Amino acid sequence: MKLTRKIQINIDLPTAEQRKEVRTKLYQWQDRCFRASNLLMTHLYMQIMMKDLLYLSEGVKYKLVDEKKDSEGILKCSHSNSTYRMLSNRFKGEIPCHILNHLNHELSSRFKKNYMDYVNGTRSLDNYKPNAGFLFGSEDLKHLYYNEERKLYCFRLFQIPFSAYLGRDFTDKHVLLKKVINGEVKLCTSKMKLDKGKIFWMPVFEVPIEPHCLKPEIVAEASLSLEHPISVRIGKKSLNIGNKEEFLHRRLAIQAAYSRTKAAVGYCRGGNGKERKLKALERFKGMETNYVGNRLHEYSRRLIDFCVKHQAATLVLLDMQLNTEIAKEEQFVLRNWSYYELMTKIKYKAEKAGIELITT
């Protein structure tokens, strides 16, 4: 399976002028990638909808194949190469061709996955924002190593030196990067993103499924409820993970503090414009999201550990349809319970542990 991590990195050049020049180039690449993404989705959609343009004459050809291979083809090259050539002609010299190649492959695969939804009108085309970042392949990232003296991970991307300081990292980023250096884990197509002056690297690691001694005949039954985020039962053994007061107390406290601070912003001392006025409010920005993410990670981790401990090869989530309907009717539950995010984390951790997940 594939794991994605987020690491803040720095441009590893000696002078401020050199770093500024590289940063300007990276922002240009991100901008061109943003524009190329929206253009690519538009071209892909127009190509598949060509045959539905009923107002065209009957003699018009619309087969999306190379005209050299099929007499009814309307393309000068293959279907996949047509979009790449469009991007290359538009942005050649402004962005590395490797980035455009990975972008074309990634978005074309995503478009094919959602093809029927686009045709039936149940899904709109994906819209990409200016800070979406840009993709690059593992072959573009070279000389990844750990500098013992500086305590940094260093590498080169398109001949630009970067460094990453993880410090006292309590996640598995150190372990994964060490395994990449030793050749034990494969690094896949990754992303780089620039946001508010910071540079983030989102490496994608291809790791094997964790080996656990699981028994197919043992089934764990779990449910998501209002009283307990997760309740799980395996035979006669049961476990309640978290409770309503413990989960909601801190979240509601953060929301209340944010509301009080927002009401008092108008009375804050000014002097340096909007930034000085909103300084107190900025402290709460992202605090609720980080807290909820941390709690849901802990809940899902305990659930999977309980299944592995009792060798359950299958995890069944009960009454998910009913819980979804309740959440839609109760605005308080829909706003504060984060059912979908918890489901996503359970699914990811179950796949990593080799446990089959079934929802009812």
Q: What is the pLDDT of residue 227?
A: 74
| Cα–Cα distance measured from residue 163 to residue 219, given in angstroms and rounded to the nearest whole number | 46
Tell me the CA distances in angstroms from 99 to 40, 41, 94, 154, 255, one per residue in order.
13, 16, 11, 21, 41
| Span 215-359 CATH architecture | 2-Layer Sandwich (3.30)
Domain boundaries, the chain: 2-12+134-206, 17-120, 215-359
Q: What are the backbone angles phi and psi of residue 311, rounded to the nearest 5°?
A: 60, 35
Question: pLDDT category, 181, cuts 50, 70, 90?
Answer: very high
Its pTM stands at 0.75
Cβ atoms within 10 Å of 10's Cβ, excluding its own: 14
Assess whether pLDDT exceeds 90 at residue 163.
yes
In this predicted model, what pLDDT tens digit does every residue of 3-35 receive, in sequence order?
Answer: 888 999 999 999 999 999 999 999 999 999 999
Query: Element (H or E) spanning 350, and its range?
Result: helix 339-353
| Closest to 191 measured CA to CA, from 135, 137, 131, 107 | 135
| Closest to 354 measured CA to CA, from 150, 212, 217 | 212
The answer to whether the beta carbons of residues 75 and 67 sit under 8 Å apart is: yes
